[in-house]
Structures are given as C-alpha cells and as structure tokens.
Structure 1
Amino acid sequence: MRRFFLTLFLLVAFVVLGTGAAGLWWVQQPLRLPAPTVDLSVEPGTTPKGVAQSIESAGVAVPWQLLYGWFRFSGQDRQIRAGSYELERGVTPRLLLNMLVRGEEATRSIVIVEGWNFRQVRAALAKAEQLKPDSLGQSDADLMTRLGRPGVHPEGRFFPDTYTYSKGSTDVAVLQRALRAMDKKLDAAWAARASDLPLKSPDEALILASIVEKETGVAKDRAEISAVFVNRLRVGMPLQTDPTVIYGMGTRFDGNLRKKDLQTDTPWNTYMRPGLPPTPISMPGKAALLAAVQPSQSKSLYFVSRGDGSSQFSSSLDEHNRAVNRYQRGIDTTTPKGDQR
C-alpha cells in the first residue's frame, strides 16, 4: 500500500509539471538560490527524501516534494552520496543530481611548502579556508600523540605537497595524510640509499634531508651539498651549517645571524656539536630526501654561496677561503684568509 501511494505521488508530481516535455524543460532550468553559493551537507545515511528536504531548508526555492520526485524518477535516488557540497547559481535539477550522485564535493586546498618548519605548517592550517581547527590549543607533543606518534618530534614528519580537502574537514585529518605521505617517501628513499652512507637509520636520512632542503638554492646543487655533509660526517668534521643554528634559536631569530649566535649552544648548533642535530629542521621534499641518500660522488668538504642562488664547492680549506673572498667579499686573491665553514 505504501509503495502504491508513493508511485501515485510521483505520477501526480510529474502531472503537475504538465507533460514529459515540461518535465524535461524543468530539470534543465536554473534553481533559484538565496545567495551566489549555498552550502549543502549530506550526512551518511540521509534518505533521498531527506536530501531533498535539506536542499529546500538551505533556502533553494524549490518544493522538496518536486526534487524528491525528480530523484526517484531518475532512478538514481539511491546513488546519492554523503558529503559537503556547494551549490552555485546556474545549477539545474539535472546538474544538482549529477553532483550528488558523483560525489562532487566542494573542496579547498592547502600547500605545505618544502623547507617549512612545523610552526609554519600549523600557522597555515589555522588560516586555511573551511578547515576545522581541531588541533587548536593542543601542544605539538599532544598533537603527535593524537596522530599516533607519541614522543616523536613533529619537525620534518609531514610531506610538503598540495592537499585538497572537503569543506568541514579537520586540520588533524590533513596532518594525518601528510604524515603518511612522508612515511612512504622516506621508506622509498631509504630503500634506494647508497651502500656506503654514514647514516644509521631512516630518521638520520630525514634529518640530513631537512638540512639539504634549507641549504639548497638551486636544484642542481642538492646532491653536491649532501655530499659535503656526508663527507664531513665520514671524517668527523662538524657540519657547521647555519640553518641548524637558526632553527635552534626559534622565534629569537630576527633575520640576522651573528657570530654570538654561532657561539651560543643549543642542541641544533652544529658549529658547537658534532654530527647530525637531534631532529630535522624542516619539511624536506622528495628531491632533498633522494639527495640525502644518494649524494654525488665528490670529495667536497666546503661550499659558499655565489650570490645567485648556486654554490661554489671546494675540497680543501685553501680553495674554500679563496671562494669566500671571491664570492662573499669581492676579492679575487689566492691568499687563504677569511671565514672557515
């Protein structure tokens, strides 16, 4: 009996439309919206009737019974998917149903930039449009516990990439995706590592990659910069890399690195402490990960910026001092005096 009345209702609904031609005309006419865009949330388990009612309740000027009749008449009513949708002016009943059946949710995106630190990542997430700040007020340690990594430092653990998300998604969900992505990229890089690396674990490779990421001005220099640090690790030289010192300074860094900063001890001061720092200092991209585990075959122990983003590499201190004089001081001399790195 219930099915009979439903069928009767559908017939009446389309009789109201006039004829089949009138119905075809109606489903292709733009619906009247109360604003340029209307948000529509379809929760899991919502019936086709409930979806039609939600659309009318959102302010769309259409009787829900008519929409429901269209959904049933199309034969696709049971294919409507849950999700967060955005209806725009010009949407017709036919386009609306296609959107709901295909699950074409309204999406936004956030970019985690190569070389960012975790503080910058959290700031970007906090500003991201339509992203629920579920981690708001949580410490980094608490957040890592929530992500299933208790006791793990967050730096370097999130792969830099563009992440799309549905309206209403949470920042924790985005971080979970970035965390899994970094796990996969790091595992792949470690599996492809050179056989003679002075690195004991994937974590050490991640630390080195984060330094390479911050020291690289042009892509072609990555593998050579990695070689400098790998060579230093092999012979027991301190890494003496400025980005680690800057990282250790945290928010105290004002844009200028001074001699006293290099002489102020922190766990990340590689001028004062041997070997790798205790954690990564940035989010390295795929190229930096690969450079860390596949450094160039080079004897370089030093490098200095040429001033154009690229670096000049040297295998001896004398060579390096001449490069410093030339590229940093504008003095082309063979006298080996100046800063050591």
Structure 2
Amino acid sequence: MSARISHEKSVIDNLVIAGGTGYRRWCGRLEGSPSCRQQIAYKEETIFTLKPGTGRLALGEQLYADKIINRPRVFQWLLRIEPDLSHFKAGTYRFTPQMTVREMLKLLESGKEAQFPLRLVEGMRLSDYLKQLREAPYIKHTLSDDKYATVAQALELENPEWIEGWFWPDTWMYTANTTDVALLKRAHKKMVKAVDSAWEGRADGLPYKDKNQLVTMASIIEKETAVASERDQVASVFINRLRIGMRLQTDPTVIYGMGERYNGKLSRADLETPTAYNTYTITGLPPGAIATPGADSLKAAAHPAKTPYLYFCGRW
C-alpha cells in the first residue's frame, strides 16, 4: 500500500515539476516578446496603491480592474509557480510601461514606494510653501490651518517667532501619506543646521544680536538681488548702514509689511506708511525674515564684502 502511495506521489510531483518547468520556459520566452510587455497595459507611468491585507487574488482583480494587466490568468499562474513573488508589501508604487508582470511583483515585494518631489524655492514665504503642501499629491494633511502660530505649535519650535525664513529651500522627496508636518520638520531641521554653521563661522564685528537677525538679513539680500555674484556687495551696503544707524530703506521689506494690501506696485504713500517691517520708517532690521534665503544669501549675510558703500552702485 505504501509503495502505491509513494508511486502516486512521485507521479504527481513529476507532473507539477514538468508543468512548472514548461511554464517557466514559456514565461521565459514570453518575457522577451511584445505580448509580455503588453501585460502592463499602461502606455505611461502610473501610480498604484496597494492597501494593507490585500491577497494575491484581490491584487490580480485590482490590477485588472485598473487596466494595469490584461491577462489575469497569466498573473495568477505566475504567482502559483513563483510563490515568492506573493510577499508584496502595502504602499504606493510607480509602474512604468516597460515593466513585465514579474518586475512589477518584485517591486511590490521590495517595498520601494514611489517618491514624489516638493520644490521649495528660495525667496518664497512660508505661506507659499503651505499652499504648495496643500496642492501636492499624496500628502497627508494634518495642519488645521495655515496660520504661522499653528505651524509653530505643530513643529514644537523652541522660538515660535522664528518661523518665516527658517525652512531650507530644496527639492524634498517624500512617499505617499507623508504628513505636511513631517516635511516641514525636515526642511526646518536642515535650515537650523545651516544657520548654526553660518552663525558659528560668521565674520567678526557684524551687528547681529542673534541668529534670527542673520536670517533676516539673508532674506533681505535674497529679495534685493537675484544675481549671486552681487549678494556679498549688497550685504556690505546694508551692514554699513546698520553700523551708522542709517535706515535700510529696501522695498521688499515694505511689500512684506503690507501683506495682502500689496497690489504689485509701491507708491510713495506705501513707503511712508509705518509697519513693523517698513525699513523706510524703522531703524535697524525688521523683527523677522521676509522670505526664505538660499545658501548664497545666507553666506553673504555671514560674510559680507568689505566696502565703504552706503548705496547701491550700477556696477560693482
């Protein structure tokens, strides 16, 4: 009896092996054929989200329903023959039209989720960044509103008033369901590190009371000129004015202080209307940054050129 059972088991095993070998040969030929490439039906990149707990049958149905594969039976056979490909992980992935089904499954198994870019540009305000965050895809929104006080509280800032200008401008990559606060924390952490370095290495005798004034000056430089080679010269003019108690008199500070009242043009009345940021009416630096400074402006604020200039020259 045992010999008969052993014989039957051997026959079944041989059939499975033969079937598997034949399938692998067939699939190997198919991998290089146009018909296999068409199994990923999209002609452009597509983003696919796999929810936690999704089994192989449900995955096949979802891929077919989303028109990502057009041969669900081939898909299920592949998972049966190669069960190791069934260990897929939940997440949001990017599929390319060149992918085979096997490559797609290996991606799902790897857990390497799609990365999305968020570009924070020099010279922009935190309010601009918050708008970008609201519009960016696949971000989990946790901020209740866009008030600076709300952001400062969410980030648990040591100095809540030091918020404008304190987010490093860069292209920040993130995965789906990254929170808005998590991205802001990354940008803030890098800016703090950059400011600490600039502060420690700053030139001697600069009239800054604290790091926030360094960032404030850097933001003014950022808005005053877009030419990198001029920034240390621009910094020298403002530093020279500060040293003798002369008003900075720079238009970007007026614009910032006007807020939503600014309509794209500055009048003489605007220059003469006092605000906390209007450097035509106040002496010294405004209470905080007016934009996000880039690395060059931060460097210029910490190492201004040594010049006697109190006014900007047409050519330095």
What range is the shorter-chain TM-score in? 0.7 to 0.9
Aligned to 2:37: 30
Aligned residue in 1 for 2:62: 57
CA spacing shift, 1:177–1:82, aligned 2, 3 Å: farther
Which residue does 2:235 correspond to in 1? 226
Given the superposition, is the C-alpha separation of residues 213 and 38 from structure 1 closer, same or farther in structure 2, using an over 3 Å criterion?
closer
Q: Which residue in 1 is equivalent to 2:218? A: 209
1:141 to 124, 135, 149: 149
Q: If the length of structure 1 is used for normalisation, what is the TM-score?
A: 0.75
Deviation of the 1:246 alpha carbon: 0.8
Unaligned runs of 5+ in 2: 1-11
Aligned to 1:194: 203
Distance 1:51 1:298 in 2: 71
Residue 128 in 1 paired to residue 133 in 2? no
Task: Give the TM-score of the pair, scaled to structure 2.
Answer: 0.80
Aligned-partner Cα distance in 2 for 1:17–1:31: 23
Whole-Å separation in 1 of the counterparts to 2:153 and 2:104? 41
C-alpha RMSD of matched pairs (Å) = 3.0
Q: Is the 8 A contact 2:255 2:262 kept in 1?
A: yes
Name 2:120's counterpart in structure 1.
112
- The answer to whether the 8 Å contact 2:162/2:212 transfers is no
Residues 233 and 105 of structure 1, relative CA distance in 2, 3 Å threshold: same
- Structure 2 Cα separation of the partners of residues 281 and 73 of structure 1: 55
Partner of 2:19: 15
Secondary structure, counterpart of 2:253 in structure 1: helix
Name the amino acid aligned to 1:197: L
In structure 1, what is the Cα distance between the partners aligned to 2:312 and 2:61?
A: 66
For the pair 1:41 / 2:46, whether they are aligned, the reply is no
1:51-99 CA distance string (max 9 Å, x none) = 674354233443564343355357xx66x55531022334213321442
Larger RCO (CA within 8 A; separation ≥ 6): 2
User: Are 2:178 and 1:169 equivalent residues in the alignment?
Assistant: yes
Within a 5 Å distance, the mapping from 1:199-278 to structure 2 comes to 199-278=208-287
Deviations 1:114-142 (A, max 9, x none): 11112222222223234344336342211
Which residue type is aligned with residue 305 of structure 2? S
Change (3 A) 1:153 1:204: closer
Give CA-to-partner distance per residue, 1:249-294, whole Å, 9 cap, x none: 0111111111111111110011111111001000000110010000
CA change 1:43–1:193 in 2 (3 A) is farther
> For 1:133-163, what per-residue CA distance to the aligned partner results, in whole angstroms no more than 9, with x for missing partners?
4336342211221122273353101111111
Structure 1, residues 201-235: CA drift from partner, whole Å, max 9, x if none?
Answer: 21111111000100113111100111111111212
SS at match of 2:22: coil
- How many angstroms does 1:33 deviate by? 4.8
Q: Distance in 2 between matches of 1:31 and 1:66?
A: 17
Contact 1:159 1:283 in 2 (8 A): yes
The 8 Å contact of residues 20 and 81 in structure 2, kept in 1 or not, is answered as no
Change in CA separation of 1:52 and 1:71 when aligned onto 2, cut-off 3 Å: farther
Task: Find the partner of 2:103 among 86, 95, 98.
Answer: 95
In terms of mean alpha carbon deviation, does 118-127 or 283-292 score higher? 118-127
